[in-house]
């Protein structure tokens, strides 16, 4: 047995992987090491991590500044509860992050991952309505094809197709529209006093297929929600920290959300950590002599000192290295090579890019299922791995979102692997 086989065999005994149909997807990549943009496998192969390990690795793997921040903080203060206690890493991270996020946001509430950041935002929005006597405001509005995570609130606001259909009977009511100002206006008008707020992934909707919309729509959504006294909740879990070529998609679009969710790149991808940012008016709405009007939410690891220390180091590095511009340049290079290679190809359509995110849709010659559950997706992943690149097409959507440390040759290798997937052979 090679070490790869033995790890895969042992994995098959006890492990249950996320988003994996184990009956047909039997061969996980056995990864032994990661450095920069590369993953080293147990069988000696090296793959370029073209999707930043589910969009988390911002600078690249094994970034020394982040590892230093982690080890130094672990030696000083490993963890302490965040109710009734505080510490320097959390306080400083709040100061530093709120200095670079859209104006108006002035409060930070920590949690553990993107889904919990969304739960926090939904609960803040709804509890505020209740506190202000608007209990009827309980229907959130989202976008078609949106994805906000896998916990119940996040599933409810996400598009049920195809991930959440089995849970539909348990999910609260949500209305969905296309990213189009008039469509959003009609839904908000129709809901009237039942509308709770608008939640969206600004500029790029990730898991729904790297769908891109323009900033005008976001500005219209901001105007409409403000005019109706409704919160605009920006899910920047994926788009945050430079992915769109600006530090935050909301900043790029020039909008100021009431609530904003961050995770993934918050720690540069090193540790699980999330934050929900809120305006001062949100915070003030919960202030009272009555303890029962507090925001009742918290996790064991809320405000984890090591996560906060790493997030501070990651933000400092993102600013020093101008990560948004780097990602933008990487995206432009991949896009131009893919565009040249796809010239006249009937196999691909709608090549698109926002910052460091490049995507196109495959045309399935057999006319098979085009969505996330497309039968050929596992084969496409294997084909990319054979070319030394880790890609995970979202159904028929081939995309790249690499880390900022990516070199030009690696960018070209990613582009070539993407092109290979569009080759019908």
Ligand X SMILES: Cc1ncc(COP(=O)(O)O)c(C=O)c1O
The answer to the question of residue 113 lying near ligand X (CB under 6 A) is yes
- Quick one: which segment of 214-222, 231-239, 341-349, 391-399 binds ligand X (CB under 6 A)? 231-239
Catalytic residue among 49, 112, 147, 372: 147
178 is catalytic: no
**The pair of three-digit structure tokens given for residue 234, joined into one six-digit string:** 């920006």
The answer to the question of residue 114 lying near ligand X (CB under 6 A) is yes
DSSP string, 345-385: -TTEEEEEEETTEEEEEEP-TT----STT-TTHHHHHHHHH
Whole-angstrom Cα distance, residue 118 to residue 236?
10
What minimum distance in Å lies between the beta carbon of 13 and ligand X?
Answer: 26
Binder of ligand X out of 159, 201, 256, 328 (CB under 6 A): 201
The answer to the question of residue 267 lying near ligand X (CB under 6 A) is no
Binder of ligand X out of 207, 273, 277, 398 (CB under 6 A): 207
C-alpha dihedral over 332, 334, 339, 342, to 10 degrees?
-170
Binder of ligand X out of 184, 263, 313, 418 (CB under 6 A): 263
Residue 233 has φ and ψ, to the nearest 5°, of -105, 120
The answer to the question of residue 268 lying near ligand X (CB under 6 A) is no
DSSP string, 2-27: -HHHHHHHHHHHH---TT--TTT---
What minimum distance in Å lies between the beta carbon of 150 and ligand X?
Answer: 6
- Quick one: which segment of 108-116, 166-174, 309-317, 383-391 binds ligand X (CB under 6 A)? 108-116
The answer to the question of residue 338 lying near ligand X (CB under 6 A) is no
252 is catalytic: no
What minimum distance in Å lies between the beta carbon of 340 and ligand X?
Answer: 29
151-155: long-range contacts, CB 8 A cutoff, minimum separation 24: 151/115, 151/116, 151/118, 151/119, 153/118, 153/119, 153/122, 153/123, 154/114, 154/115, 154/118, 154/119, 154/122
What minimum distance in Å lies between the beta carbon of 237 and ligand X?
Answer: 4
123 is catalytic: no
What minimum distance in Å lies between the beta carbon of 244 and ligand X?
Answer: 12
The answer to the question of residue 323 lying near ligand X (CB under 6 A) is no
Given its phi and psi angles, is residue 180 left (phi above 0), alpha (psi -120 to 50 degrees) or beta? beta
The answer to the question of residue 149 lying near ligand X (CB under 6 A) is yes
- What CA–CA distances, in Å, run from 403 to 36, 42, 324? 8, 22, 11
- Quick one: which segment of 114-122, 173-181, 220-228, 361-369 binds ligand X (CB under 6 A)? 114-122
CA nearest neighbour of 281 among 230, 324, 319:
230
Residue at token pair 């929600």 = 225
Binder of ligand X out of 237, 266, 270, 419 (CB under 6 A): 237
The answer to the question of residue 153 lying near ligand X (CB under 6 A) is no
**Helix, strand, coil % in the chain, rounded to nearest 5:** 40, 20, 40
What minimum distance in Å lies between the beta carbon of 165 and ligand X?
Answer: 18
Binder of ligand X out of 66, 124, 238, 309 (CB under 6 A): 238
> What residue number has its CB nearest to ligand X?
114
- What CA–CA distances, in Å, run from 29 to 49, 80, 381? 12, 36, 11
CA nearest neighbour of 55 among 419, 424, 390:
390
The answer to the question of residue 262 lying near ligand X (CB under 6 A) is no
Whole-angstrom Cα distance, residue 292 to residue 201?
32
The answer to the question of residue 147 lying near ligand X (CB under 6 A) is yes
Measured from the CB atom, the residue of 139 and 203 that comes closer to ligand X is: 203
Q: How many residues bind ligand X (CB under 6 A)?
A: 14
Q: Say whether 28 sits in a helix, a strand or coil.
A: coil
| Reduced 3-state DSSP string for 256-308 | CCCEEEECHHHHCCCCCCEEEEEEHHHHHHCCCCCHHHCCCCCCCCCCCHHHH
Whole-angstrom Cα distance, residue 113 to residue 117?
6
Catalytic residue among 112, 159, 235, 361: 235
What minimum distance in Å lies between the beta carbon of 369 and ligand X?
Answer: 21
The answer to the question of residue 115 lying near ligand X (CB under 6 A) is yes
29: cis peptide before it, omega within 30°?
no
What minimum distance in Å lies between the beta carbon of 248 and ligand X?
Answer: 13
- Quick one: which segment of 110-118, 183-191, 372-380, 414-422 binds ligand X (CB under 6 A)? 110-118
19 is catalytic: yes
Catalytic residue among 19, 68, 386, 412: 19
**Which residues have a catalytic role annotated?**
19, 147, 235, 264
**Residues at the interface with ligand X (CB under 6 A):** 113-115, 118, 147-149, 201, 206-207, 235, 237-238, 263
């Amino acid at each position: 047995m090679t070490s790869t086989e033995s790890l895969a065999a042992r994995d098959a005994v006890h492990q249950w992987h996320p988003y994996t149909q184990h009956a047909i997807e039997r061969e996980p990549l056995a990864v032994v090491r990661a450095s920069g943009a590369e993953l080293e496998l147990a069988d000696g192969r090296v793959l370029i991590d073209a999707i930043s390990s589910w969009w988390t690795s911002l600078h690249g793997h094994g970034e020394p500044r982040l590892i230093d921040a982690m080890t130094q903080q672990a030696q000083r203060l490993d963890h302490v509860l965040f109710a009734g206690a505080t510490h320097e890493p959390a306080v400083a991270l709040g100061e530093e992050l709120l200095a670079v996020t859209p104006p108006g946001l002035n409060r930070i509430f920590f949690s553990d991952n993107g889904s919990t950041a969304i739960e926090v935002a939904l609960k803040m929005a709804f509890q505020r309505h209740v506190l202000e006597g608007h209990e009827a405001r309980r229907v959130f509005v989202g976008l078609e094809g949106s994805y906000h995570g896998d916990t119940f609130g996040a599933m409810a606001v996400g598009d049920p197709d195809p991930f959440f259909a089995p849970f539909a009977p348990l999910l609260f009511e949500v209305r969905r529209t296309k990213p189009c100002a008039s469509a959003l206006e009609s839904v908000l008008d129709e809901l009237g006093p039942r509308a709770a707020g608008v939640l969206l992934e600004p500029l790029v909707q990730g898991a729904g297929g790297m769908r891109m919309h323009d900033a005008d729509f976001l500005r219209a959504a901001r105007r409409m929600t403000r005019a109706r006294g409704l919160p605009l909740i920006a899910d920047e879990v994926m788009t945050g920290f430079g992915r769109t070529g600006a530090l935050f998609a909301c900043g790029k679009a020039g909008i100021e959300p009431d609530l904003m969710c961050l995770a993934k790149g918050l720690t540069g991808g090193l540790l699980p950590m999330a934050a929900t940012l809120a305006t001062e008016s949100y915070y003030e709405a919960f202030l009272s002599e009555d303890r029962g009007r507090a925001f009742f939410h918290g996790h064991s690891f809320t405000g984890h000192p090591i996560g906060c220390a790493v997030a501070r180091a990651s933000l400092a590095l993102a600013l020093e290295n101008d990560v948004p511009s780097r990602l933008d340049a990487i995206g432009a290079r991949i896009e131009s090579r893919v565009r040249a290679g796809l010239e006249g190809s009937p196999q691909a359509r709608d090549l698109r890019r926002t910052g460091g995110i490049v995507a196109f849709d495959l045309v399935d010659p057999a006319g098979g299922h085009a969505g996330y559950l497309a039968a050929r997706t596992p084969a496409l992943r294997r084909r990319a791995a054979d070319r030394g690149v880790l890609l995970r097409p979202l159904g028929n959507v081939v995309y790249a979102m690499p880390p900022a440390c990516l070199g030009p040759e690696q960018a070209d290798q990613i582009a070539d692997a993407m092109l290979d997937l569009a080759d019908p052979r």
